[in-house]
Amino acid sequence: MYGVDTRALTKRLRERGSTLGRICLQKKGASFDELTSQVSWRDNFDIPEWVDPNSKNLVAKVSTKKPVTYDPPAKLAKLGPDGKVIRILAVDVGMKYNQIRCFVNRGVSLKVVPFDYDFNKEEYDGLFISNGPGDPAVMKDVVEKLRIALKEARTPIFGICLGHQLMATASGASTLKLKFGNRGHNIPCTSTISGRCYITSQNHGFAVDVNTLTPGWKELFVNANDGSNEGIYNTEKPFFSVQFHPESTPGPRDTEFLFDTFIQAVTEFKETKVYKPVQFPGGLLKDNRAAYPKVDAKKVLVLGSGGLSIGQAGEFDYSGSQAIKALKEEGIYTILINPNIATIQTSKGLADKVYFLPVTAEFVRKVIKHERPDAIYCTFGGQTALSVGIELKDEFESLGVKVLGTQIDTVITTEDRDLFAKAMDEIGEKCAKSKSASSLEEALDAVKEIGFPVIVRAAYALGGLGSGFADNEKELIDLCNKAFAASPQVLVEKSMKGWKEIEYEVVRDAFDNCITVCNMENFDPLGIHTGDSIVVAPSQTLSDEDYNMLRTTAVNVIRHLGVVGECNIQYALNPYSKEYCIIEVNARLSRSSALASKATGYPLAYTAAKLGLNIPLNEIKNSVTKVTCACFEPSLDYCVVKIPRWDLKKFTRVSTLLSSSMKSVGEVMSIGRTFEEAIQKAIRSTDYHNIGFNSTEALMSIDIDSELQTPSDQRLFAIANAMADGYSVEKIHKLTNIDRWFLSKLEGLTKYGQKIASYGTKEQLPVRVLKEAKQLGFEDRQIAKFLNSNEVAIRRLRKEAGVIPFVKQIDTVAAEFPAFTNYLYITYNADSSDLEFNDNGVMVLGSGVYRIGSSVEFDWCAVRAIRTLRENGFKTIMINYNPETVSTDYDEADRLYFETINLERVLDIYELEKSAGVLISMGGQTSNNIALHLHRQNVKILGTSPLMIDSAENRYKFSRMLDNIGVDQPAWKELTSFAEAEDFADQVGYPVLVRPSYVLSGAAMNTVYTKDDLMSYLSQAVDVSPDYPVVITKYIENAKEIEMDAVAKDGELIMHVVAEHVENAGVHSGDATLIVPPQDLDKETVRRIVEATAKIGKALDSF
């Protein structure tokens, strides 16, 4: 079965309760391509009668037919005081095989008997009642036998799921039918004894009514979401049962210890024959709370990350902002140190006080002495803040400051490669074989023991700085020289290049409650830094066994390290076995944390800030649903893809090859109901010129085999070209080590693109093929290219055929509970939208992906615009696809669309929402690029008109306008031919400036000093701006550069700020040092600048 809108189905069940269903088989020869009515369904399918399974004795169908005994291996056998193997009798009312394994692997002999077996006549040391299907009320015979067993109390008794309900019924309690049951692998259950919360697997429609428990029985576990009963125990005798599945498989293994608890009770009773309640691990609730009281902090200092750099970008603005929100909710006065003016967290109204100072030990020490905070957070400012925390570790106590969250010693353990390897060895986990080295000689000695190939990693380094792979001694020496320039220590580690790279985001509180919020799988095998890898969430190629093996390890590792808050663990997994190694743990919020938070909707930074105050995880509300607790693992009914963005072409002589040192400057995130839909969205988001997974002419002349074997920033397009050339999945897999599952999905896109093209024209394209294409993530521009048409024509065709997208929510619970969030994405793999469109909100277009020239400052603009609109009573709609931003937080706008900013998607949302207008001036070049296109489609643009934008961005129009209004400018000419360009340059004299239109941060803008360079630079400019004019101007040497930022309304200047460059003209303003107010300008110069600006504002307003 496929093509079912499972989310819509879940919502229907949520609202109406459990519903009978049936599967209808297609009649032979019938077609269901174009089913449109109830009659069509009945004509084309064989429809069986309704059957209510709950009215039948389902246990009789699944229970064993005769007794079967399972003995443990002799070396595992657990003997009682009589020298015999401990015997457990299991009543099979629908038993899972893994329950058998859980007993036998613990050394006991297990005799499994049918549900109607008279087990009270048997001799055994412990009685177990298994899980099973159906209504416990049907099982009257089993209940009666169990009532006798409870009364006789010959041995300890343990029940699971249906066994739990049967035990409760036998004890005198009653059960009730839940509206839609609890079914999933991520359901949180809190122990009433210890207060600990566990993630469990469940699949049941009935529950024990805790209000009917008889004397001597108490609640053992409670569902942390809906409050239903999850377990009971006897206060005098060794009887207990649980509603969930501690044996897991599928699912988490967090409560498998209950088998040990039961066997321990059996052993003790067999030895003593003394009645006492079962002793559960985890301590007592009051003692646990007393050990970690809530932190009494009135004033907290938060360290920011400072200036952006590769590996440390806008994600720390997002995490720091969330942390400050969380602290303020607790009534805590917050102080922030961050010199980055382009961040939301430094804006007025968030932190109570902001210091624009360098995040260094010297300045942090001064602020602490001046402000006297009670506590400090070092985990929300990336490597910069951590390094300061490590440097001041021994001073914090004397300064009277408590470190909140993960302690510095834990951070040091995770950052020091040698200490980390030793810590993992303590719990039997392994890292790759490695040795630390503090000199080149030590590194050379280490490789003699480890053997080539190796990876060299620098300690305390960001973004894999100074790391790389070495296949021989020469490469090792080169790497070590670079690494020691960045760090005093390196780790020489056995290479596992080619293995899968897997990440888990883990959250733990002071009370040892621990969950994994998100697991992510790198599309690229190990060998490429995760910041330069395509990442998919949730993992698509892991089995349940693989997933939970790594999940269990993650929980064990984080507990052993003592992390409090959020962290990230990375693995290398052998694709041909269960062998794995731990690569590293980041004991702080990171780039991956931001991605995981946006991919799941789980507010990681907000939650981590609360946990640092010793608030238990299961007492924090899920701020998305408002009704479930934060101690849960999100359900994803969609697929997320992250693709990095590189700007390597801006630099000459910089290698585009990807390795273990990060080079990307930004990343995009896309959401789809299928991997194909998500990856095509993500490809488009990295650059407006990318239309999807298509072959590209730019790579036609390169050696594809070499490009696939040695990955560069063009690898994905190299795969597209290879597939277009007929390369098989197997061949590409051998060249890249990329999993065949991903490659087969990409091959499907290539073949479907060829299928679309085979129809020749849009008129010949069947509606069914058009719809399937949209479900696979093909955009209108892409389809138009296949059919020699244009985007607008395909859009018109699609809408006329009724092929329209739907809107789905990200709610962390896959629609099982009502959500109050409006965190949204668009898909064609659906039958209905999750919400109504009655707000007519104002749309704000975000900045999109970070790149050189467009970074966190545009996120600041978008967020401030959204907040201002909301303060003035407007409903707001945010569109952005950058996971590192504050604007993509679920609570910033009334509606957040995590979507590509292009013509098709903005029009889709504008029409669905019946928007009051679109604000494009806050998103920088990304939104400016589509301003005119939106205007031509009659979209209401608020603020600066697209015609004004075009007059400023189009170099020819702008230069002509300056001439018309009498504003001085250097001599200029539009490029119409290379010959005329040469004549102009000869006329005005070199140097000249080549200036393309609609570009960011001076892309392809160059100063030309000789005729020989002119043709080359002009060609670059035409390539980067093919649809708009290129202008050549006389370059004025040794000139002072001044900037004017102004606000105008109806062409009249309202306010302005003049900034002076320290460097002479010729240094791009993004690389220049600016002084405000200017120190070296006379009043007349300033007056002329203001006058020219006013003229430009008035002239633009006339368009």
Active-site amino acid positions? 161, 245, 247
Q: Give Cα separations from 464 to 169, 180, 791 (angstroms).
A: 59, 48, 41
Could you give the CA distance from residue 1094 to residue 897 in angstroms, rounded to a whole number? Answer: 37
DSSP 388-406: HHHHTTTTTTTTT-EEPSS
Residue 535 contacts residue 521 (beta carbons within 8 Å): yes
Q: Give Cα separations from 82 to 75, 108, 263, 960 (angstroms).
A: 18, 14, 16, 102
Q: What is the dihedral of CA 958, 962, 964, 966, to 10 degrees?
A: 180
DSSP E strand boundaries for 923-978? 941-942, 972-974
Q: Give Cα separations from 493 to 440, 467, 504 (angstroms).
A: 14, 11, 22
* Residues paired with residue 182 on neighbouring β-strands, in sequence order: 204
Could you give the CA distance from residue 980 to residue 973 in angstroms, rounded to a whole number? Answer: 9
Contacts of 377 (CB under 8 A, 6+ apart): 300, 301, 302, 303, 323, 404, 405, 609, 612
Could you give the CA distance from residue 932 to residue 977 in angstroms, rounded to a whole number? Answer: 26
Could you give the CA distance from residue 317 to residue 886 in angstroms, rounded to a whole number? Answer: 7
Element (H, E) at 826: strand 823-827
Contacts of 1083 (CB under 8 A, 6+ apart): none
Q: What's the DSSP call for residue 712? A: B
**Of 896, 878, 873, 884, which Cα lies nearest the Cα of 821?**
896
Return the exposure string of 627-638: e unless at least 16 CB atoms fall within 10 Å of the residue's CB, then b: ebbbbbbbbbbb
DSSP E strand boundaries for 192-223? 197-208, 217-223
Residue with tokens 């020091």: 416
Look at residue 516 and give its three-state secondary structure: strand
Return the exposure string of 570-581: e unless at least 16 CB atoms fall within 10 Å of the residue's CB, then b: bbbbeeeeeebb
Could you give the CA distance from residue 322 to residue 603 in angstroms, rounded to a whole number? Answer: 8
Helix ranges (H only) for 727-885 are 729-736, 740-757, 767-775, 780-786, 791-800, 856-871
Long-range contacts of 711-714 (CB under 8 A, 24+ apart): 711/524, 711/528, 711/657, 711/658, 711/736, 712/656, 712/657, 712/658, 713/644, 713/646, 713/648, 713/656, 713/658, 713/663, 714/656
| Sign of the four-CA dihedral 871, 875, 879, 882 | positive
**Of 642, 770, 648, 827, which Cα lies nearest the Cα of 716?**
642
Question: In the sheet that 434-437 helps form, which strands lie side by side, from edge to edge?
Answer: 434-437, 490-494, 454-458, 468-470
Residue with tokens 């290129």: 1030
Q: What does the block give as tokens for 766?
A: 């069947």
Look at residue 351 and give its three-state secondary structure: coil
**Whole-angstrom Cα Rg for the chain:** 32
Q: What's the DSSP call for residue 790? A: -
Q: What does the block give as tokens for 368?
A: 């602490």
CA 636 to chain centre: 11
